[in-house]
Structure 1
């Protein structure tokens, strides 16, 4: 006779469900995680960059791939969003990953793994799968991460609330940019108008100056010409007197 006892679920699946309920009951700061609907052994997570770090404003998507032997064996950890700390689509060598089964503790849960990942992300300790970048580069990755994640269909499916939050941030940024451009345009117009007025004033001043110069030029006495005319007049008068004198003497004779 066949046994009627219910089949016992594999340890990994049972533990995954417990961890999932625990995360829903006590959410982690800066971290959101969801398993695939059709595969509870593949979890996707989103790490939100904490304030006062180069990752602030960024959203970092990655995966945890659990073995069926979990919790007795650790998961593989991947980062999918470019971030400046870890290589993307590369197994990360961490004490909480399958690179170090010797340091793994079966009491660690999904929350412990993700908390450890965030802690290591905020450090600068090198490891297999890590990269070195400047603070500016990390900040640049943080800004680009928003639109980058929205292109991922799995990200959109598993994290609709995060997508809504990202869309709001992008819209706010778009409005701020539009206001800034409008302010710059207004300042540009205000700078052009005074310049035009100054130009008109300058042209008017030049016309006034030109008229003044013309008047001064006309008012200046042409002394050489006046002297020549005076000499000619005197000479003509003397000539007339001499001619008159000669004629008078001839009449007397």
Structure 2
């Protein structure tokens, strides 16, 4: 952790000592600005029972610019595209240096509980969600079982 800004060190220590329920974030052994993240699908969501792998990277400008976060696990969600990019306001224009890594992770977890097809990144998924929500939710559940099974963690 040598050479890292004090803020990143403190945030990392807090994540390790006080983990966010349903979220595991571990800094990479070779690059402490890069985190391996596992997010459990929230209860009562189409993603319940799944564990999703994400990567989180803190750019040099952090905390003046937002972390870069993306899903590594395939997911059927209107606000997450095929490449795993996430449409979330705090990762874009609503970022504030007052926010922290844990705030970002909690927001990503909340997005799984409340997909927003009116602000999509995956237009095809959003259209499906709007036209037939029940069918879209079934598809999300199927993808969760297929791509994010709990026993898939390594």
Higher relative contact order (CA 8 A, sep 6+): 2
Question: Counterpart of 1:224?
Answer: none
How well do the aligned residues superpose, as a CA RMSD in angstroms? 2.2
Q: Does residue 88 of structure 2 align to residue 94 of structure 1? A: yes
Q: Give 1 or 2: higher helix fraction.
A: 1
Q: Which has more strand, going by share of residues? A: 2
Q: 2:132 is matched with which residue?
A: none
User: Counterparts of 1:147 and 1:25 in 2: how far apart (Å)?
Assistant: 23
Asked whether the 8 Å contact 2:56–2:67 carries over to 1, the reply is: yes
SS in 2 for 1:89: coil
1:1-253 equivalent positions in 2, closer than 5 A:
9-11=3-5, 14-85=6-77, 86-97=80-91, 99-100=92-93, 103-126=94-117, 127-130=119-122, 131-132=125-126, 134-144=136-146, 145-146=148-149, 149-150=152-153, 156=154
Runs of 4+ in 1 over 6 A off after TM superposition: none
With normalisation by structure 2, the TM-score equals 0.79
Q: Any gaps of 5 or more consecutive residues in structure 1?
A: 1-7, 151-155, 157-253
Report if aligned partners of 2:41, 2:112 keep a CA contact under 8 Å in 1: no
5+ residue gaps, structure 2: 130-135
Number of aligned residues: 139
Q: Structure 1 length as normaliser, TM-score?
A: 0.50
